[in-house]
Amino acid sequence: MNKKNFICGVAVGALSVSIIFGAFNIYMLKASGFTKEDKIAYISQLLSEYYVDDIDNEKLFESAYAGLVAGVGDPYTTYMSKDEFEDFMSSSNGEFGGIGVGVLFNDKNKTVYVSYVTEGSPAESAGIRPGDKIVEINGESVSDMDSDTVANKIRGPQGTSVDILVYRQSDNENHSFTIKRDIIDIQSVKGEIINGDIGYIYISGFKNNTYDQFMNAYNNLSEQGIRGLIIDVRDNPGGLLTSVEKIADEIIPEGNVVYTIDKEGNRKDFNADPNYIDIPMVMLVNGNSASASEILAGAFQDRGRGKLVGTQTFGKGLVQNLYKIPDGSAVKITIEKYYTPKGVCIQGIGITPDYIVENESDLASVQLIPHSEDTQLIEAVRVLESEI
């Protein structure tokens, strides 16, 4: 094509665009009662007639629904497609189709790591290890994904497979895995004895089954004669309010644990009963301790139940509720703000520990740090032993 023809082609293309948008402007000017619904239909018609490639209309409208909800400007008020809602409910119930790994987004280097591998899971059988850096899922780079998106792409129906590429620092190599998904029973609680007679319980999230797992772990440790307990909610993003309330009732003396206030100013209180686990306790928190974790930590600190050790928490003082839509999708909406027993809403602020201690390790998750190198845990043990 010579230069003259090229310039002519550009001119014709520009003229076409001008005509299309000219017609659109005329329609806008002449239309009477042009509603928001009319606008959506009109844009859809424009896309259908002029977009150069095929359009997935279902994806188009799913994006429109998500955009509508996102327009309120609250990152916690979100739209979920039917599949996303089903995955969310399965995860909240403590059971879902997946491979048995936890994922964690590391703000320091903007990468996604495997934070844990469930014992006996397909991931463990395949050879995935804690600390592996996730590079690709089904051939798609995770560089622009957050941890929730990565988790949703890893999950799927039992019996289906997912391709995962990870980078392993120990051998400086990429490793490729094709893993068949199975039903995963989430273990959100892990308990052990440290320093001879101190109980240690890590809670990774608050699911429907977390309370039962917590009590099983505590009872097992209690039978071994522990003199004190460290509860670790570092890297715990939160979860179900009902779950954390049950655990708070077990460790907080009688009185207020948390209260919420809605848009109309209505207040709801949750109070612990007189019966609680009466042994010395310390709680570990960090910048990834959020939402339900902060409810527990806030009550723990405000009620003088024990000391907090670690770093400033995330600062999410909002409560969401799920509303199912008739087609199987759902909207999660922020409906309340919550307040610690002393009347503090920690939204955007977080909770300051009684003992501020940094962990110098670059490992993606505190659960990957050996206890002997975990400076926050070492300090928690020191604080607890001083109170026993």
Enumerate the active-site residues: 291, 302, 316
On whether the CB atoms of residues 121 and 100 are closer than 8 A, the answer is yes
Cα–Cα distance, 317 to 291 (Å, whole number): 6
Pairing, β 161-168 against β 228-232:
unpaired
Phi-psi region of 304 (alpha: psi -120 to 50; beta: other; left: phi over 0): left
Classified as helix, coil or strand, 85 is: helix
On whether the CB atoms of residues 235 and 264 are closer than 8 A, the answer is no
Distant-in-sequence, close-in-space partners of 175: CB < 8 Å, separation ≥ 6 = 127, 132, 165, 166, 167, 168
Burial class (CB in 10 A: 0-12, 13-18, 19+), 142: buried
Q: Closest Cα to residue 161, out of 182, 145, 147? A: 182
Q: Which two tokens stand for residue 111?
A: 């990468």
Q: Which two tokens stand for residue 31?
A: 């239309």
Cα–Cα distance, 315 to 347 (Å, whole number): 5
- The full DSSP string for 38-81 is HHHHHHHHHHHHH-SS---HHHHHHHHHHHHHHTT--TTSEEE-
Q: Which two tokens stand for residue 306?
A: 């024990």
Q: What is the DSSP letter of 239?
A: B
